[in-house]
Amino acid sequence: MAERSLPTRSWLDRALGVVERAGNALPHPATLFLMATLAVMLASALVATLGWTVTHPSTGKPVAALNLVSVEGLHRLLTSLVSNFTGFAPLGTVLVAMLGIAVAEGAGLIAAALKLLVLSAPRRLLTMTIVFAGILSNTGGEVGYVLLLPLSALAFAAVGRHPLAGLAAAFAGVSGGYSANLLLGTVDPLLAGLTQEAAHLVDASYRVNPAANYYFMAASTFVLALAGTVVTERVIVPRLGPWAGVADSSAVEPLTTAERRGLRFAGVATSALAAFVVAGIVPEGGFLRDLETGDILHSPLLSGIVAFIFAGGVLVGIAYGAGAGTIRRDTDVLKAMSKSMETMGSYLVLVFFAAQFVAVFNWTNLGLIVAVEGAAVLKALGLGTVPLIVSFVALSATVNLAMGSASAKWAILAPVFVPMFMLLGYTPEFTQAAYRVGDSVTNIISPMMSYFALIIAFVQKYDPKAGLGTVVALMLPYSATFMVVWTAFLVAWALLGIPVGPGAPLLLDSPLHVQ
């Protein structure tokens, strides 16, 4: 009998294979962060010696590189080494959230809920549901990273599909579709405030409301969910191939009586927690609103979402365990928490070195200098409106690879591009929407993204040899597709003249002149 020939690999599969091999040929991610830290320090010395400075577009003050290869730099490194690590924002968020989720997982709630999902949801809709849920999770901030990603991997494994495909689909929605949502989040008022300040350079009376991009971002939710589903099914799943690991067969068996009882108990606890939140938010003077302004967007509910994840995981997990008989005493809860921390060792190592790199990069002002110079070059090109919008999206996406904070980048770019587009006749709200597209699409391939170390740890659970290159190769098709599709959607939106949000048309009512 003739041997069966191996299937021909597509050019895309071969290209991604090259990316993965090249990335994995790099040192361990922790070592890579250390090397990058040293490189940034040397670059800071070079740029400082050359006297390269830029003018900050907001303050008008000169910005120079801080030389860290100096006595001052040495002192800063020595005195900040510990605080860089302990003050790294995602560290506490991940650990606290994981403690709560660990109780739900240890009690068996997550497994039972996945089983219910697999048995009740049509398999053909699983991918789109995961991507869509990832986009919506942005309102809750960290919940998408610490909860949805591992759950999506387990959901795919439960139906015999490669878990990394499920993880990738969720990551694409959570991070690649960061700005899109059907609900307003904390980033909306933050960016709106910066946009308004930039608009005041041209019109001192201009006001930008937090819902300025709602129409466009809500519509983008469905566009990205469809695009992410197509990439997962057409590119990622074929590339990963069939899942050779051992899936939990119990995930597709009917729920037991104990599991059903546990889910009912968990449902009651969830309803009680939801009633508590509603009682604190819905009334005008609710106890979970901002005490001074009564605002919801800046309320303790949203700013303390990690605390709610922790409390919710513990309360609902204990309720499930009491009903299913999997939690009988306090030691069962503490054992579940301890077990989750045992699996976070590699993440803690990565975070230590990543935190040092991020801190050093911020100290040197190199990110600020590169961003300002890039913005100046783009402005000097003198492109037409649509090419300028596309170029601006590309610039935002590129800068996002070097600077992780959405607000920090917009604080630099807004004073340049908001007035420029206003003088071209476009509203600040539309310019902000264009920025948010570029700021989102490269999150999933940027090591500067705060949760990138956590993603690597999740991937290594199913592929112990995985490294930075594995994650980048896995997510690059999503990043490229989102870049093209979302930018095209923005251009089409502009050509149709649809407002990007309530009270936020594309064009200004009257021509403006620089004051």
Going residue by residue through the chain, which has 515 residues, state the pLDDT in tens, using 9 for 90 and above.
Answer: 344 444 455 555 566 566 556 655 667 767 877 888 899 899 999 999 999 887 765 567 888 989 999 999 999 999 999 998 988 766 777 788 788 888 988 898 877 876 676 567 677 888 998 898 888 877 655 667 777 788 888 888 877 889 999 999 999 998 888 888 887 766 777 788 888 877 887 777 888 877 789 899 999 999 999 999 999 999 999 988 888 776 554 545 678 899 999 999 999 999 999 999 999 988 888 888 887 777 776 678 766 777 888 898 899 999 999 999 999 999 999 998 998 787 777 778 878 988 888 788 878 888 777 767 766 675 677 676 678 888 889 988 887 776 666 766 777 778 777 877 777 778 999 999 999 999 889 888 877 677 777 888 888 888 887 777 788 888 999 999 999 999 999 999 988 989 998 888 888 876 444 33
Cα(308)–Cα(65) distance, rounded to whole angstroms?
A: 41
Spell out a b/e string for 93-132, using b for 16 or more CB atoms within 10 Å of the CB, else e: bbbbbbbbbbbbbbbbbbbbbbbebbeeeeeeebbbbbbb
Residue 87 confidence (pLDDT): 83
Residue whose C-alpha is closest to residue 317's, from 305, 304, 308, 326: 326
Q: Quote the radius of gyration of the chain (alpha carbons, Å).
A: 24
Cα(436)–Cα(410) distance, rounded to whole angstroms?
A: 9
Residue 21 confidence (pLDDT): 63
Residue 233 confidence (pLDDT): 93
SS3 breakdown of the chain: % helix, strand, coil, rounded to 5? Answer: 70, 0, 30
Q: Supply 135's token pair.
A: 């986009």
Query: Cβ neighbours of residue 280 under 8 Å, at least 6 residues apart?
Result: 286, 287, 288, 289, 301
- What are the Cα distances from residue 35, in Å, to 26, 40, 73, 90, 453? 11, 9, 17, 22, 16
Q: Supply 32's token pair.
A: 């890579």
Residue 16 confidence (pLDDT): 54
**pTM for this prediction:** 0.67
Report residue 128 CA to chain centroid gap.
Answer: 18
Residue 503 confidence (pLDDT): 80
Residue 17 confidence (pLDDT): 60
Phi/psi at 85 (nearest 5 deg)? -75, -50
Cα(381)–Cα(507) distance, rounded to whole angstroms?
A: 22
Residue 515 confidence (pLDDT): 37
Residue 453 confidence (pLDDT): 76
